[in-house]
Each structure stands twice: as C-alpha cells, then as structure tokens.
Amino acid sequence: MLRSVEKVFSGAPFHMVGDGFRVSNHFPAVSDLLKRMSPFFLLDYHPPFEYPQTSDERRGVGPHPHRGFETVTLAYEGAVAHHDSAGNGGVIRPGDVQWMTAGSGVLHSEYHEKSFASSGGPLHVVQIWVNLPRKYKMHAPRYQAVLDADIPRVELSGEAGTARVISGALDDAQGPAATFSPARMIDARLKAGKSARFAIERGHNAAVLALEGAVVVDGARASAGESVLLKNDGDELVVAAETDAAVLLLDGAPIEEPLYHYGPFLMNTRDEINQAVEDYQAGKFGRLRD
Ligand code: MN
C-alpha cells in the first residue's frame, strides 16, 4: 500500500543561525510536531544562498553545547568546518555528511571553511537533529565523518535515477552511518518524468524534502525547499519527478518516550534538562580550543 500525504510544508520564515547559516525550519517549528517525525527532532534547511567573500575565519556559529541527541549535517554546496570539545573537527564538503553524537555533551563551533569563506559562494546544507533513546542519551560523544566516496549508490528501477544511502538500507546497500535506533537517510537524484519507489517500514515516520526541482507524492506537489510529511498508512513511497529533481528521504522508528526540549538540549525529563544546564554552566561539557 502506498503512503499518502499528511501535509506539505514550505518551512518557517528564514532565520540566521550565527552569522553564517540562513535556514528555514521544517520541524518542529510548531510544538505539535515535537514528536511527529521522531526519531528526527529537527530539520533546518539552508537552500542555496550566495555569501560574499569575507576575511572572517569564523563566519557561522560560535561555541555552543548539545546533549541528548545527534546533529547530522549534510553539505550539497560550499564547505562547513567545525570543531568540538571532544577533540574532533573537520570539513564537510559537497556530498559529505557529518554525523555527530552529542550524547552526554559536547561544545562545538560550526562555520564556513576558511577558503570557502575567503572566496565566498553558494552554500547549500541541511542539518537534522536525531533524538537518542533514553539509554543512549548519555553515551560518550562520537563523531562519524561520512565522505561522499563512502556512500553507496543505488540505481533506481526504471532508470528513475540514483540514490545515495547515508544510513539505513536500500535494496542491498547499507548506509555507512551507524545509528542508535532505526533512522534512515537517503538522498536521490531523479530524472524528469520518472518515478522512484521506496519500501518504507510500516509504522516508521517518514518525510521527503525537495532539494532541487519539483516532485509529486500522492498527488501533492513539492518544489525545492518544500517538504512532504507522509501519513503512517502504508509500506511504500512513490516519488514522481516533474522535473529533474533531488530529494532527501527520512524515515525512522519513533522513539516512544517522554521528550523535554530546551534550546540545545533534548532529554526525557525536566530534571535532566535542569541537570544539563547546570553541567554546562559548571563547565562539564569540556573546553573548546580555538
Ligand atoms: Mn550545533
């Protein structure tokens, strides 16, 4: 049975994260979406936007904490650099994915990579927050640099296009990113006039973000920058490409636990949030070297 569409989102009005990321939030922009896409908690979309050159080596967002979840950053254009208090750092280039488990807590900075900042140019990125089940919320921080070259490609049937499997499985391909609960991320390039079929686990929450072009799902049209939230009513998704298109598919098993959210912390109880704030203020998230 095919999944039907619950809603098409255009995303919330753009806001700046620090001075380097012009994003539109797709969820949980409104509170009734806090758990609707669980295990995915947040999706900030930064569509292609041209930044002028700058001599600022830290155009972006300065040191800030996270606890209780994972941040996943996908770059499509431009280059994002980061470093964190666990000693990890690197550059996310087009096609790469940074899968950072904040777990018990990290401080990190995210900014335009130096040479990209000094030349300026278009930046196109997605950041997704993936919630952690209670038993992993205080897991040691972990960092997975998933390079484009390590992401398997699957040719979609009917010559509909090509999918990259970042996490989870598609056909025989397994995405390289390890997850703590089922959380699949697949992006695909589709050819105009073709349709791609994806099997989706029954009961998984699922959505499709249009990155380029325009697609139709269950009669609903989404063009670049719009996302489609699917009902949990079937086990197959069909995405029809109206034009050449690129999409990001998210689906995962909902985490059926209480959720408390405060700023950069995502925990199960209010007490755990208070503890996170206290630990952060006491310097327990470590130090961030410049
Ligand atoms: Mn962050």
Summarize pLDDT for 106-142 with one digit per residue, the tens.
999 999 999 999 999 999 999 999 999 999 999 999 9
Distance 107 CA to ligand 1 centre (A): 8
Distance 127 CA to ligand 1 centre (A): 9
Average of pLDDT values for 216-227? Answer: 97
Distance 110 CA to ligand 1 centre (A): 7
pLDDT at 121: 97
Mapping DSSP to helix (H, G, I), strand (E, B) and coil, where does residue 271 land? helix
φ, ψ of residue 218 to 5 degrees: the values are 50, 40
Q: How many CB atoms lie within 10 A of CB 205?
A: 23
pLDDT at 33: 83
Mean model confidence pLDDT for the chain: 96
Pairwise CA distance, residues 7 & 69, whole Å? 26
Confidence of residue 287 (pLDDT cuts 50, 70, 90): confident
Distance 98 CA to ligand 1 centre (A): 11
Average of pLDDT values for 138-164? Answer: 97
Confidence of residue 30 (pLDDT cuts 50, 70, 90): confident
Distance 129 CA to ligand 1 centre (A): 9
Distance 171 CA to ligand 1 centre (A): 32
Residue type, 6: E
Average of pLDDT values for 62-76? Answer: 97
Distance 249 CA to ligand 1 centre (A): 22
Partners of residue 264 on adjacent β-strands: none
Distance 160 CA to ligand 1 centre (A): 35
Q: What is the pLDDT of residues 176-199, one digit of tens each?
A: 999 999 999 999 999 999 999 999
Pairwise CA distance, residues 82 & 111, whole Å? 6
Distance 99 CA to ligand 1 centre (A): 11
Confidence of residue 288 (pLDDT cuts 50, 70, 90): confident
Strands 227-230, 205-212: pairing is antiparallel
CA atoms within 13 A on the CB side of 182: 14
Distance 63 CA to ligand 1 centre (A): 8
pLDDT at 34: 87
Average of pLDDT values for 48-75? Answer: 96
Distance 56 CA to ligand 1 centre (A): 19
Report residue 197 as tokens: 């079929």
Distance 158 CA to ligand 1 centre (A): 39
Q: Is the previous residue joined to 176 through a cis bond, with omega within 30 degrees of 0?
A: no
Percent of the chain with pLDDT over 70: 99
φ, ψ of residue 272 to 5 degrees: the values are -65, -35
Pairwise CA distance, residues 201 & 236, whole Å? 8
Pairwise CA distance, residues 25 & 9, whole Å? 10
Residue type, 199: A
**Does pLDDT of 266 surpass 90?**
yes
Mapping DSSP to helix (H, G, I), strand (E, B) and coil, where does residue 279 land? helix
Distance 72 CA to ligand 1 centre (A): 9
Q: What is the pLDDT of residues 73-116, one digit of tens each?
A: 999 999 999 999 989 999 999 999 999 999 999 999 999 999 99
Distance 106 CA to ligand 1 centre (A): 9
- DSSP class per residue in 117-160: HHH-EEEEEEEEEEE--GGGTTPPPEEEEE-GGGS-EEEEGGGT
Q: What secondary structure letter does DSSP report for 86?
A: T
pLDDT at 39: 98
Pairwise CA distance, residues 95 & 72, whole Å? 13
Distance 35 CA to ligand 1 centre (A): 20
pLDDT at 290: 67
Pairwise CA distance, residues 72 & 74, whole Å? 7
pTM over 0.75: yes
CA atoms within 13 A on the CB side of 165: 16
**Does pLDDT of 32 surpass 80?**
no
Distance 100 CA to ligand 1 centre (A): 9
